[in-house]
Structure 1
């Protein structure tokens, strides 16, 4: 009997292989031949699941965001306002091995956006989804009196999401200048002017943020981190 193949499972395996290659070797290393070799299959096997490399790369790009969004949703579950916001940012920012790899992948894809219509259509969709979610959490933080009523959620959400994208670029281009402590500090500095008296930002991050270690050679001003 012919061997039955789970179509969706095989597509997922191909995307996983593509993610590994892009994180390790960049987009230039994610050729159809290299992906087939990574999977241990014939060169033509991938064509049964993706019509061409552009379709595969678009699916891979969407998968990166789907994984990030899934983890962020899990982090924020049962939380609201400031707690939900910081839990979400913990997963969006390149603070650990997983999120740094994701930063490498998305930055590689951004370089292709100017010439790839399919990818160019995906980035605004993801950016807008993140911004809407962050804005909703900021509105809740104002309702909860953690942030000042004078704070403007829409532009503040844009600033926070833009900062996330900037940190993803820095994690790739200047990794030793972008430690977890500095990312946390930048977010806190953005929110600090709008924080109500008595609200501590430092104590509202998920517990594991404090356990994230900076590379030893990172020149971070520790006095700022405990202000």
Structure 2
């Protein structure tokens, strides 16, 4: 009796194999043959689930975005705005194996999206999601007095995004030079610098 195959699970298996190839060797080497070998499947099996290499790549990119969205959706909103922002950052930035893999895949596909229209819609969605997260974090900090008066929210959103994307890009390109402890230190220092200046403690009364 033939064994039942869960088609959604098999498609995911193929996509996860593509993730591993892209993270390890780059998008250009993620051919259908390389993905089939990584997944332990035949070329015929791959073509049964995906009509083309582009279709497989689009599916894999959407799936990694869904995985990251689920990871962020599970974050607790308890505590201060600073604590919530940090939880989101530690989940999003390349600090563990899963987020480092997502980071490598993201940058591989973003370069392709500039010249391949099929990837532009997904790239635009990811772009909007990242901007919304940055804005939500800055507005939350501002609402709790965690930002010095007079700082422009939109400018801070742009700074926040530049900081996190700069660190993510460095981690994708030069992982040995961008360890998790450096990423945490840089982000924590920037968040600390947003705080309103603290008044100095009162000095001794005159005549003392």
TM-score (norm 2): 0.83
How many angstroms apart in 1 are the aligned matches of 2:134 and 2:15? 28
Alignment partner, residue 119 of structure 2? 119
After superposition, where does 1:75-224 map in structure 2 within 5 Å? 75-79=75-79, 81-197=81-197
Root mean square deviation, CA, Å: 2.2
Instruction: Indicate conservation of the 8 Å contact 1:94/1:103, yes or no.
Output: yes
How many angstroms apart in 1 are the aligned matches of 2:144 and 2:150? 13
Divergent runs of 4+, >6 A: none
Alignment partner, residue 49 of structure 1? 49
Radius of gyration: which is bigger? 2
How many angstroms apart in 2 are the aligned matches of 1:139 and 1:73? 18
Give the length in aligned residue pairs. 198
SS at match of 1:75: coil
Instruction: Indicate conservation of the 8 Å contact 1:76/1:88, yes or no.
Output: no
How many angstroms apart in 2 are the aligned matches of 1:31 and 1:67? 23
Q: Does 1:38 align with 2:38?
A: yes
SS at match of 1:182: helix
Instruction: Indicate conservation of the 8 Å contact 1:148/1:195, yes or no.
Output: yes
SS at match of 2:74: helix
Pair 155,56 (structure 1): closer, same or farther in 2 beyond 3 Å = farther
In structure 1, list runs of 5 or more residues that go unmatched: 199-227
Pair 123,159 (structure 1): closer, same or farther in 2 beyond 3 Å = farther
Q: Give the superposition deviation at 1:2.
A: 4.6
Deviations along 1:33-61, whole A, 9 cap, x unmatched? 12122222221211222221111111212
TM-score (norm 1): 0.77
